[in-house]
Amino acid sequence: MNLRSDDHSLVVVVGAGGVGKTTLAASLGLMSARYGRDTLVMTFDPSLRLMDALGVGEHARDREVTVAAGTQGHLAASLLDAKQTFDRLVRRYAPDEAAANRILTNRFYEHLAANLAGILEYMAVERLFEVAAEGRYDRVVLDTPPTRHALDFLGAPSRIVGFLDSGALKLALRQWFDEKGRLKPAAHLGVLGRGVEGFLDRMVGMDLLREMAEFFQAFGPLFAGFRERAENVQALLKSPKTTFALVTAPGEERVPETLFFARHLVEGGYHLGPLVVNMVHPRASADLLARPDFGDGAHLLSWLGERDDRGVAAFRRLLERGQTLVDVPLLAQEPTDLPSLEALGRLVTDQLEGAPA
Amino acid sequence: MGLFEHLASRQLIVVTGKGGVGKTVITAVIGSLLADLGRRVLLLEVDPRESLHQVFDVPPSGGEIVRITAPVQDRDGAAPWSLSLQNLQPRQVIEALVRQHLHIELLTRRVMASPVFQHFIEGAPGLKELAVLSEAERVVRPRGKGRSAHAAFDVVVLDAPATGHGVSLLAAPHLVAEVIERGPIGAQARALTALVADPQRTGIVVVTRAEEMPAHETLELREALEEQVGRTPELLVVNALYPPFPTAAIEGSPDDRFLIDLWRRRREGNERELAQLATAWQGSRLELPMLPADRGLRLLAALRHEMLAQLDQAA
């Protein structure tokens, strides 16, 4: 990954929760704009200070706001909001306003839109597609939602499309409900069909199934659009113009999970960019330990330096040929303004530019 | 030890907090301290990739219940702690539930093989969370009648998913109960709503670090819990504090300048966030130091020691 070049129009920053993805995404976006590329940073719930640093607050929710960074390229930031993106998609792809309102007021949709597992990830991808289609930026840096495991980001869109897919649920519900959501006579279903129906009624009640049938009925015309875009987004994510920056913390217990994800990305046909080992404690000198006035703290700090050293070494050993490792030291404090974000960004880009291509 | 005895009477303790703050280790510490008090403890992990076993230096359990006893060198108390842990897959619970209600094997297989069922349990909001809580409730529910009634465990300590998902877990029963009004799932959702809402039966522990983002998320989490679950967490554990910076101005060798500056400013940041949490967080709070040990029994023993010392002090 080289932010000076035009090689990558999409940088996806992935990793487990708490490893510093959002701050890194912002600093990479800033560097990209510094290098003259019009850049959009898309993020979820950054810290207040990071929002201040970028100069974007709540008003950037679901919209792009220019960051006054004085960069050669234009820098914009946007906060993603899953529910609003979902609502907007329904409005856009519904055949008419009445159809859109039928969906938006359906009780099942209300629960679904806010609570569907992986909805944030899916809507990030949807929003990404909207932005990519508009083509107003040379580069988009996408921060991904805080999941425990980086893998969740890639899996979520297909899970949701699977859930929404008319092929399965609509056809299944059609066995029991007619076009108007009325329960059909069960005569044609046979013994097994009646058994399944009885089971579902006992388990969840026919009322819920009726609401679901209505929802999927109303959603029907939208499916083609959803599926097509899901396929386009998959193609975009697997394009050679897209690179994944995989972020991890340095502890050795992180190694198996991180390398598992790296392999999964490569095997899935995605383009893995740098592995960023973030928040690395620097090594202490022997002198530090010898100072009695430093107390237990010196012992802890030198242990942390050794632990992180071990972790980085383990990552390096297990890296596949051709992959780049960037180690970013733990900063004395989190970046709170544009200069400190840029300083962090430079720590990354200097290593990237020094690395073989 | 008042606070802990208070927690010890619960059937379910949910441990949540931002990703990367040490929830899993704290779950293990709390579980082992409850075991010290003679409670029969099951630690439940719901993450598909196991990590709880690392705290006890044992191999992953693959979904089975594993029994663990304190190693000899850590038997500081009169009776060594002993507890069980399990990595729970929500799908297994849902499939067991289907089996239990369907009775006919052919039907069961047909239901489970159908794409509708597969997509439904993957995507349906709240269903997996409900399954996890159901399983927790099942193992602490007394079986049998009268005086011979006996539960498999006294208390489940749940290593819950990170913040947002942690709230979803606790809010799931109510959410499902609103949508599904009938049948066994509706009844179960109502029963679990009552379990989660009852501070006598369910305890909530939030783990955080004294850094800007985790501390901010912690206060948001508290609000979300009050709003969506009607509950206030019992305990806040502030984990992994940098050690106090020596009061005298110190100058190390030039090689260590960056490191010493890092220590001073990270500790200042910790103190700033601690002060903020002390004002904004009403309720019990424990502060744990960052310790020079990898995840494993040695870290567990050291954290147990720290926590006990603070609990004694508080009492």
Exposed, middle or buried: residue B288 (CB in 10 Å: 0-12, 13-18, 19+)? buried
Residue of A nearest to B213 (CA): A47
State how far residue B157 is from chain A, nearest Cα, in angstroms: 19
Strands B66-69 and B82-87: antiparallel
CB contact under 8 A, B252 and A249: no
A225-229, A308-312, B121-125, B300-304: which has the minimum mean pLDDT?
B121-125
Q: According to the model, what pLDDT value does residue A85 have?
A: 79
Predicted confidence (pLDDT) per residue in B228-286, tens digit:
899 999 999 999 999 999 876 566 677 788 888 999 999 999 999 999 999 999 889 99
CB contact under 8 A, B20 and A17: yes
CB contact under 8 A, A18 and B295: no
CA separation for the pair A160, A175 (Å, rounded):
23
ipTM of the complex: 0.89
Q: According to the model, what pLDDT value does residue A166 have?
A: 47
Q: Does A347 touch chain B (CB under 8 A)?
A: no
Which pLDDT band holds residue B13 (cuts at 50, 70, 90)? very high
Predicted confidence (pLDDT) per residue in B43-95, tens digit:
999 887 788 999 999 998 888 999 998 876 555 555 678 999 999 988 888 88
Q: According to the model, what pLDDT value does residue A187 have?
A: 45
Exposed, middle or buried: residue B293 (CB in 10 Å: 0-12, 13-18, 19+)? middle
Q: Using alpha carbons, select from A42, A123, A124, A115 the residue that is nearest to residue A86.
A: A123
Q: Using alpha carbons, select from B69, B88, B67, B193 the residue that is nearest to residue B131.
A: B88
Q: What is the mean pLDDT of residues A22-45?
A: 92
Strands B235-241 and B82-87: unpaired
**Option in A163, A203, A294 nearest B119 (CB):** A163
Q: According to the model, what pLDDT value does residue B210 have?
A: 96
**Option in A149, A253, A285 nearest B295 (CB):** A253
The encoded tokens of residue A132 equal 């990519």
Of chain A, the end-to-end C-alpha distance in Å amounts to: 8
CB contact under 8 A, A148 and B161: yes
Name the pTM for this structure: 0.89
Q: Does B284 touch chain A (CB under 8 A)?
A: no
Question: How far from A350 is each of A4, A317, A327, A345, A354, CA to CA, in Å?
Answer: 11, 22, 11, 9, 6
Residue by residue, DSSP assigns A320-347 as PTT--EEEEEPPSS---SHHHHHHHHHH
> Would you say residue A49 has pLDDT above 70?
no
The encoded tokens of residue B104 equal 């006919």
Q: Give the E-state strand segments of chain B in sequence order.
A: 12-17, 41-45, 66-69, 82-87, 155-159, 202-209, 235-241, 284-289
**Option in B111, B246, B261 nearest A332 (CB):** B261
Q: Does A316 touch chain B (CB under 8 A)?
A: no
Q: Are B260 and A295 in contact (CB under 8 A)?
A: no
Predicted confidence (pLDDT) per residue in B149-200, tens digit:
889 999 999 998 776 667 888 988 998 888 777 777 889 999 999 999 999 9
Say which residue, A281 or B313, is predicted with more confidence.
Answer: A281
**Option in A117, A208, A300 nearest B123 (CB):** A117
Rg (CA), chain A: 24
A138-152, B59-73, B122-136: which has the minimum mean pLDDT?
A138-152
> Would you say residue A72 has pLDDT above 90?
yes
B103 — phi, psi (to 5°)?
65, -45
Q: According to the model, what pLDDT value does residue A178 have?
A: 64
Q: According to the model, what pLDDT value does residue A341 have?
A: 93
> Would you say residue A227 has pLDDT above 90?
no
Q: Which helix (H) or strand (E) holds B113?
A: helix B105-113
Instruction: For chain B, positions 261-280, list CB contacts with chain A under 8 A.
Output: 261-266, 269
Which pLDDT band holds residue A280 (cuts at 50, 70, 90)? very high
State how far residue A339 is from chain B, nearest Cα, in angstroms: 18
> Would you say residue A259 has pLDDT above 50?
yes
> Would you say residue A356 has pLDDT above 70?
no
In the CATH scheme, what architecture does the domain B2-314 have?
Answer: 3-Layer(aba) Sandwich (3.40)
Q: Does B312 touch chain A (CB under 8 A)?
A: no
Say which residue, A238 or A214, is predicted with more confidence.
Answer: A238
> Would you say residue B147 has pLDDT above 60?
yes
Q: According to the model, what pLDDT value does residue A147 have?
A: 63
Q: According to the model, what pLDDT value does residue A336 have?
A: 81
